[in-house]
């Protein structure tokens, strides 16, 4: 793996959250508990993650709920800081895309396109140029001056997609992006992904939607309880993930049923 091609390099990433069991987030609570300081528990959300992602790669991250996917994504996008010793190196401009964040319900579609586009790094000039194509792609020409709060969730997602295709960053972090809606909507998702790939963008895709993962990803990282299980081709990673899910499901279903029966007795 030549070094120039690596655009995202995570080395030795650990993340520990300190969780307080009692709420002391106020002046009054702090004063009333002055002789009874709050103990905090350390929870390890991520342990020793090492990833290198190359330019132009479509990189998937999968794992069950609570496996640390979102935490890892937040660390990659520098929302959270890793524990001491961890290092993140990202070469190039990046943006994180989620469906329908940065939309303001009280604003019209027109205003939201400007707001959302601008928040994702597009200049007003650029937005004005692509404005009509955004509306066309989202099939919302008739609702340009309607407040977004009257939109269906499908309409909002379509709008988010259409803005997303135009984002100029080299690296895109997709968070549960796509995988919703009907057949025609799925077609749009495919269009967007193909467009990203055509334009040589580096993509990190976090999703439960295993179909898109297996279809588009070059490599997949499987996380389990904060640990990096493997990084491999999608079919290998997915197989491992499915085995894992099946095993967990069996255990929890078994204990659940067992408890149920004991309770009835």
Partner 1 sequence: MINKISSLLIANLPKKNRLERIWILAKTDFKKRYYGTSLGILWALINPIFQLIIYYFVFSVFFKNDVPNFSLYLFSGLILWMFISESNKKGMYMISSNRHLIEMIRIDKHDIITAGLVSNSLALIFNFFVYFIVAAFFDIQYNANLLYLPLIIFNLMLITYGVNLILSIIYVYLRDFDHFWDIFMIAAFWANPIVYNESILYQYKIVLYLNPISGLIINMHNCLIYGKSVDFELLQLNLIFGVFIFIVGIFIFKHHSKKVIEIL
Summarize as ranges the residues that interact with partner 1 (CB under 8 A).
Answer: 17, 25-28, 30, 74, 77-81, 93-96, 98, 101-102, 104, 106-107, 111, 114-115, 118-124, 169, 175
Residue closer to partner 1, measured from CB, 27 or 34: 27
Residue closer to partner 1, measured from CB, 50 or 123: 123
Residue with tokens 């967990």: 248
Residue closer to partner 1, measured from CB, 101 or 132: 101
Residue 104: CA count within 13 A, CB half-sphere: 12
User: Which DSSP state fits 108?
Assistant: B
Q: How far is the CB of 248 from partner 1 (least distance, A)?
A: 27
Going through the chain in order, the beta strands assigned E by DSSP cover 6-20, 40-54, 58-62, 87-90, 94-97, 171-175, 202-206, 219-224, 227-232
By the 8 A CB rule, do 82 and 36 touch?
A: no
Q: How far is the CB of 79 from partner 1 (least distance, A)?
A: 6
Residue closer to partner 1, measured from CB, 76 or 192: 76
Q: How far is the CB of 75 from partner 1 (least distance, A)?
A: 11
Q: How far is the CB of 169 from partner 1 (least distance, A)?
A: 8
Residue closer to partner 1, measured from CB, 32 or 191: 32
Sign (positive/negative) of CA torsion 117, 123, 139, 207? negative
Residue 235: CA count within 13 A, CB half-sphere: 0
DSSP bridge partners of 172: 95, 203
Q: How far is the CB of 44 from partner 1 (least distance, A)?
A: 14
């Amino acid at each position: 793996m030549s070094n120039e091609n690596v655009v995202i390099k995570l080395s030795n990433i650990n993340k520990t959250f300190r969780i307080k069991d009692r709420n002391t987030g106020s002046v009054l609570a702090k004063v009333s508990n002055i002789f009874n300081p709050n103990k905090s528990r350390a929870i390890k959300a991520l342990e020793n993650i090492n990833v290198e992602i190359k330019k132009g790669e479509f990189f998937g991250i999968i794992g069950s709920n609570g496996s640390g996917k979102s935490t890892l994504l937040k660390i990659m996008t520098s929302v959270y800081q890793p524990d001491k010793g961890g290092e993140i190196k990202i070469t190039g401009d990046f943006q994180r895309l989620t469906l329908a964040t940065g939309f303001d319900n009280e604003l019209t579609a027109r205003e939201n396109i400007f707001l959302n586009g601008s928040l994702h790094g597009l200049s007003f000039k650029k937005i004005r140029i692509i404005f009509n194509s955004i509306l066309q792609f989202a099939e919302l020409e008739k609702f340009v001056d309607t407040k977004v709060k009257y939109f269906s969730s499908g309409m909002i997602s379509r709008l988010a997609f259409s803005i997303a295709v135009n984002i100029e960053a080299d690296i895109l972090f997709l968070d549960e992006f796509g995988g919703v809606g009907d057949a025609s909507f799925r077609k749009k998702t495919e269009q967007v992904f193909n467009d990203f790939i055509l334009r040589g963008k580096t993509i990190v895709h976090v999703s439960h939607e295993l179909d898109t993962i297996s279809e588009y990803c070059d490599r997949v990282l499987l996380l389990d309880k904060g640990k990096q299980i493997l990084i491999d081709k999608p079919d290998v990673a997915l197989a491992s993930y499915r085995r894992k899910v099946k095993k967990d499901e069996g255990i929890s279903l078994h204990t659940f049923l067992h408890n149920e029966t004991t309770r009835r007795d």
